[in-house]
Structure 1
Amino acid sequence: MTHHGRQVPDHLLIRIAQRGDPVSAVSEDDARRRSIAYPKLMWGAPVFGHAEEVAGRWRILSLSGDHPQGSRDALGSHFRRLRGRTPETADHAAERREYQAAIRLLDWEVVDDLTVHGRRYRIIRVQPFVRMGPDGPEPPRPTDPDPYPTGQTRDVPPPEDGFVIDPAATTGLSDGLLRIEMAPAFYKAGIVPDEIQADSHRALVTHPNVVLLPVVFTIGEYLDQTWQPRSAGTYPTPQAARDSAAFRFSDIVPHEDATLEEISAAYTRALEEFKAPRTDEFEIKGVRCRVTRVERFVRIGPDGPEGPRPSDWDPEPPPELHCQQLREQGLLPELD
């Protein structure tokens, strides 16, 4: 996949180029050092999003779900916004009908690939992973951008929004080598349930290449002699992760039988008292925490990025179907 012949399909290419500028040189040196210091790659649970095909390339609109249905719901919301921005004129009536039909389809059925108003959309599957070393997970690298001051990261957009998934784009040496390493990677038998392992192995055939997504960050904590996630999600910059590290629900509940008013007061006090750190290592209530670097990739096949797998956890049905099921069980009132 690393050679440049015209006969190689774009979805199989990994183009590596040496970049001579100083910033790239420092970034490559950081990557080399960290691959030695943090040699073990630990995969996390997949995340899901929706993408749009534009001029033969897929562009990520959002990564918004821990399971596929959450991303289908988000895609439905995307079509609602498009419908809302479409003029209510005769010239645009057909376009509005297409958006409305897509919304209804996603409200009732499990759909991962559809075409609306001449554009293809897909629910995509993204695999996060963290580098681990003897001292725990990899912290941010010196070359990772961190431009925002403490407390001013709330409106920073996710770095993957609008990201174009282009397997044929030129990449640096370290990212190219990482793609070569990830392309044949799959769950080994005995580590995960058989159906998950089988899907993982099958993906090597259906989606044989990988593309790296922009790096994000989270907070890890050291509890019971092991590192585990503290943050519920990931954040676009190291400081955004630090700003999120204030506390969890369990941190602020004053006692087991606390009332809603007591919990609200404790939450207010915690907000007032918390001062987001600027370092990558800090303690919260005596617990060691670390800003953790999260890398991600999406698998690519001849028809674009990989969608959800049959074995992926997907507990919720589409929203209207779910409501119908609840009404049939007597858990929701019947509609007039």
Structure 2
Amino acid sequence: MDDRDEPSAHRRPRIPDTRAARHRSTRTDLRMLFPLYQPAQEVGDRWLTRAYAGPSPQEGRDALAHHFLKQTHELEPDPGRKRDFADAANLLDWERHDELLVLGHRYRVVRIERYVRFTRDEPDWPRATDPPPLTCDPPPGESERSARQYGIDLTSDAETDADAAALKAELSELVPAGGPIPREVTEDALVRHMAYPDVIILPPDFQLLMRRGGARAWRPFGSNCTTPDEAREDLRLHLAHRSRSDEEWNAGTTTEERAAYGAALASCEAEGLVDAVSVLNRHYRVARVIRVARVGFDGPETPRDSDHDPYPPPAAQHLEAHEQGLLDEDDEGPPDPPGDETRKFLLGPG
């Protein structure tokens, strides 16, 4: 898989004598997906997720700012505490920070690694034991997907059996290296693996993959899903969109292609939600994704310097657009920048 030019996982030059990992690697291999970035809060000796995960460090910061704003609008009755949460959100709107101290609690954007196990170039399927859809309504303002991502313990393994132990041993040996992978990515990974040596297995998520014709590479597309049925429904929606002629982004498809997608959609809806569909020369799969957090003495891993992080904070983008005259007359200007009082939220030099 090479979406976003993410590297494959390669073994370290020096491999510990781990028989379980070595035995499994002869039958299957792990391939690396792009990581996700998820806000978490330190609660006692644990770190618990507090918002949805995003595909870039900045989107993780944006999710943390959104969490702070939710406290001011829905949950926090004290005016002084509301102000602190609002100020912390405004700080993240203007500046890049991966960790803040707000009202005595540390909040951090955590890097979540993601892998798919392949057997003979086929991705791992969902399992019967994987989580079903929610049976209760999510909290106000939350989707089912975001509600499922709240309160996950990033310091405790979700799986503790023998297979999980072998997986942790295997993951401890893997580092992106070789081929087109930049040297700084490999060096960054080696340093971080020493700083965050513990591998924590989190609940899985699920990702749509697509492969063209007889090509070996499977490419992820769409968003990460928290249950198999969410990913199956995303696959159904993709077939539905590709079968329509009134979609602007679908205007380039031929009548034959739309008909093929329409037939695949009809078959899918007749069978119910499915894990695999082939249309013309495209093969689609719902893949089970292994998610892990790396943890050190000070908590879970933050974004790396080598991670792809192309977007500035939203207020900084807004200010740039305002200064370049790109906003309409009715658009509001950027918010006020954070004052000196927000420096209290920083744990290190600000």
Same fold per superposition (TM over 0.5): yes
How many residue pairs end up in the alignment?
Answer: 292
**Aligned pair partner of 1:309 in 304, 307, 310:** 304
Deviation of 1:329 after TM superposition, in Å, equals 2.6
Contact 1:53 1:121 in 2 (8 A): yes
Question: Cα deviation per residue 1:267-288 (whole Å; 9 max; x = unaligned)?
Answer: xx96995617444333346633
**Aligned pair partner of 1:98 in 84, 88, 91:** 84
Write the distance in 2 (CA, Å) between the matches of 1:210 and 1:172. Answer: 14
**Aligned pair partner of 1:57 in 46, 56, 81:** 46
**Aligned pair partner of 2:109 in 116, 123, 131:** 123
Paired amino acid for 1:245: L
Question: Cα deviation per residue 1:175-196 (whole Å; 9 max; x = unaligned)?
Answer: 1221122124211244411221
Contact 2:28 2:117 in 1 (8 A): yes
Does residue 234 (structure 1) correspond to residue 224 (structure 2)? The answer is yes
Partner of 1:254: 245
Paired amino acid for 1:118: G
Deviation of 1:174 after TM superposition, in Å, equals 1.2
- Aligned sequence identity (%): 30
Write the distance in 1 (CA, Å) between the matches of 2:175 and 2:243. Answer: 40
3-state SS in 1 of match to 2:176: coil
CA 1:131–1:111: 2 relative to 1, 3 Å: same
Paired amino acid for 2:112: V
Write the distance in 1 (CA, Å) between the matches of 2:68 and 2:247. Answer: 44
Deviation of 1:304 after TM superposition, in Å, equals 0.5
Unmatched tracts of structure 2, length 5 or more: 1-19, 136-142, 252-257, 335-350
Question: Cα deviation per residue 1:9-52 (whole Å; 9 max; x = unaligned)?
Answer: xxxxxxxxxxxxxxxxxxxxxx99x9579511001111111001
3-state SS in 2 of match to 1:320: helix
Write the distance in 2 (CA, Å) between the matches of 1:291 and 1:210. Answer: 25
Write the distance in 2 (CA, Å) between the matches of 1:206 and 1:145. Answer: 32
3-state SS in 1 of match to 2:223: coil
CA 1:254–1:333: 2 relative to 1, 3 Å: closer
Contact 1:231 1:244 in 2 (8 A): no
Partner of 1:69: 58
**Aligned pair partner of 1:40 in 25, 29, 40:** 29
Unmatched tracts of structure 1, length 5 or more: 1-30, 261-265
Deviation of 1:97 after TM superposition, in Å, equals 1.8
Question: Cα deviation per residue 1:54-75 (whole Å; 9 max; x = unaligned)?
Answer: 1121001234211011111111
Deviation of 1:170 after TM superposition, in Å, equals 8.3
TM-score scaled by length of structure 1: 0.75
Partner of 2:96: 110
CA 1:158–1:221: 2 relative to 1, 3 Å: farther
Instruction: Let me know the Cα RMSD of the aligned residues.
Output: 3.6
Deviation of 1:135 after TM superposition, in Å, equals 4.6
Contact 1:130 1:293 in 2 (8 A): yes
Write the distance in 2 (CA, Å) between the matches of 1:169 and 1:244. Answer: 25
Does residue 332 (structure 1) correspond to residue 327 (structure 2)? The answer is yes
Paired amino acid for 2:289: V
Contact 2:158 2:203 in 1 (8 A): no
Partner of 2:192: 203
